[in-house]
Structure 1
Amino acid sequence: MSVLARDPVMLSEHLPPDVDGPVLVACDGAPVSSEALFNAGRLATRAFGGPLQVLGVCKPTPGVAAGMDVLPVPAELDEARRLSMVEDVRRAISISAAGDPTWTVDVQLGSPSRLLATEARRRHATVLVMGIGRHNPLDRLFGTETTLATLRESRVPVLAVGPSFPTNPMHAVVGLDFSVASVQSARLAARLVAPNGRLTLVHVRPRFEHPSADWQAWDADYGRTLPPLFDQVRAQLDPPDGVIVETVTVRGDPASSLLSFAQQAQCDLIAVGTQRHSFLERLVVGSVATRVLRTARCGVLAVPSA
């Protein structure tokens, strides 16, 4: 996702339809994060419909090196660990005020990011709800954080929340570059905002510092394209009754400008569209969605491009 549009373009009239599938909540049974995850899951089911399903992923135990050979781990050991996580997840649901014992619980063995992304797509999930954890510098460098790794593989929107994510978000900020993915993120965010809340559409323009007449003319043309583009997006939203939709334009670096605005606004949720990047691009530059997810002090909704 890039909040910065190099050249403003007209919006496609054929946005992807909303999916009436389940809300998939990724949970490993840790009580410290379960309350916020389940609250976010309930919020998503109210907003989008569909059942709530809880999915846990248990990493297989690596084989043990013995000389030149690797001793395989008995299958019974991993199955015991999987069943233990099932009990942990059910226990977390039962002690959480937001939990519901009728929710389906599934725990599978595999790579968390790959399996979560695959299952979300296979089940035609409307959104995948995950937690935002603490990350060390090596995780950030190599992209092994589970939520970020899942986001990079997912074709389903990811709602990442921290422990303080509110039950009823009152203010969502959308990074809007007028791409299909960013417009879809605005549509979904509009439905997550509580009645009488606010949805702020933020477009980050290039920082204009060139003195030539040609560049000044281009910048003026750029500015004139923005009001009709904002109007097109507003016409495609379906916010709850009473939600106020605002539009804001700022200048600067896409990620830092969006984060700065969101922090000053003390919003509950930042929504962005995501684009596909190579490993080298992520390593050297990073995407706006990655920087937002790592830095935001609120929940993040990331919607992948088609």
Structure 2
Amino acid sequence: MPVLAHDSVLHAEYQPPGAGGPVLVACDGTPVSSEALFNAGRLAMRAFGGPLQVLGVCEPTPGVATGMDVLPVPAGLDEERRAAMEEDVRRAIIVSSAGDSSWPVEVLLGSPSRLLATEARRRHASVIVMGIGRHNPLDRLFGTETTLATLRESRVPVLAVGPSFPTHPVHAVVGLDFSAASVQAARLAARLVAPNGRLTLVHVRPRFEHPSDDWQAWDADYGRTLPPLFDEVRAQLEPPDGVLVETVTVRGDPAASLLSLARQAQCDLIAVGTQRHGVLERMVVGSVATRVLRTARCGVLAVPSA
């Protein structure tokens, strides 16, 4: 998380696509986590001011190979599956105490991650709210985790929550590298924290150290840049009344440091900015946001770069 040039980041007017637009809640009708999902949707509505829309995506039935031919899918099967998912989604909304039967519901056929990202852009959504996904190794290996795949394609912030995500998050931890996306993540996280809650802005300094005079001088200069940068970020936040905003600087690996601090503090939400990387880099290294989403046991807010 290197410190970027002062004027190039904090003075930039950064607004994610669809700021102030509808809150898009991704739901497949599974009742397991619908309560937390809809509560998170309501939280986002209050925080960002947009109406709530529920979107389900039903993957088409793949054809079955039989020798040199492909056995066609029976006509109408996918439409029946799509209609069944729509019924499940509407039922999940009705039976959930956090649901509202007046919310508009639509279920589409296609690739979930691609359609969610596309629809969010088309609708000028302020945020996509969805389940945080599974964490088993096989799912990570083949990249089928819908939440992570959506995050990689989305140009809209993604709020990923698990079944235990609270109605009113009390403590949020923000990974801050002073990029425009990370500053925006701090702004959005500040709106999600409950009154009298806590917002911790965390900057992870390089863990490399060297005894040379040049390194010591550079490291000292680096440290002196941090307080004014933190102050400028704090000045841009609009947290609810009574929210404590604190700053923390640590050394180490950014993702591991954020996750460790979040576990120790038992926080409700980790917020990070995301950067665009090539396919090969994502496969071999992975971004901080990807690693946080794969490992976190709290909610994750990921804000993409413009």
TM-score by length of 2: 0.96
1:8 Cα shift? 5.5
Check conservation: 2:273, 2:304, Cα contact below 8 A: yes
Q: For residue 184 of structure 2, what is the aligned residue in structure 1?
A: 184
Aligned length: 303
AA matched with 1:237: L
Separation (CA, whole Å) in 2 of partners of 1:212 and 1:67: 67
1:208 Cα shift? 4.4
Query: Does residue 84 of structure 2 align to residue 87 of structure 1?
Result: no
TM alignment of 1:90-239, pairs within 5 A = 90-239=90-239
Q: For residue 16 of structure 1, what is the aligned residue in structure 2?
A: 14
AA matched with 2:190: A
Separation (CA, whole Å) in 1 of partners of 2:130 and 2:123: 16
Change in 2 beyond 3 A, CA 1:298/1:55: same
1:91 Cα shift? 0.6
Separation (CA, whole Å) in 2 of partners of 1:7 and 1:78: 49
1:281 Cα shift? 1.0
AA matched with 2:11: E
Separation (CA, whole Å) in 1 of partners of 2:247 and 2:62: 51
Separation (CA, whole Å) in 1 of partners of 2:183 and 2:291: 19
Separation (CA, whole Å) in 1 of partners of 2:6 and 2:288: 20
TM-score by length of 1: 0.96
Deviations 1:131-178 (A, max 9, x none): 012233232134221100000000000000000000000010000000
Q: Could you say what the CA RMSD is over the residues aligned between the two structures, in angstroms?
A: 1.3
Check conservation: 1:208, 1:219, Cα contact below 8 A: no
Separation (CA, whole Å) in 2 of partners of 1:199 and 1:12: 19
Structure 1 unaligned regions, length at least 5: none
Q: For residue 5 of structure 1, what is the aligned residue in structure 2?
A: 2
Check conservation: 2:15, 2:184, Cα contact below 8 A: no
Q: For residue 53 of structure 1, what is the aligned residue in structure 2?
A: 53
Separation (CA, whole Å) in 2 of partners of 1:101 and 1:148: 29
Separation (CA, whole Å) in 1 of partners of 2:209 and 2:238: 38
AA matched with 1:271: A
AA matched with 2:35: E
* More off after superposition, 5-14 vs 49-58: 5-14
1:227 Cα shift? 0.4
Separation (CA, whole Å) in 2 of partners of 1:241 and 1:249: 25
AA matched with 1:94: I
Check conservation: 1:8, 1:222, Cα contact below 8 A: no
Identical-residue share of aligned pairs (%):
83
* Shift >6 Å, 4+ stretches: none
1:113 Cα shift? 0.5
Check conservation: 1:142, 1:283, Cα contact below 8 A: no
AA matched with 1:39: N
Check conservation: 1:8, 1:225, Cα contact below 8 A: no
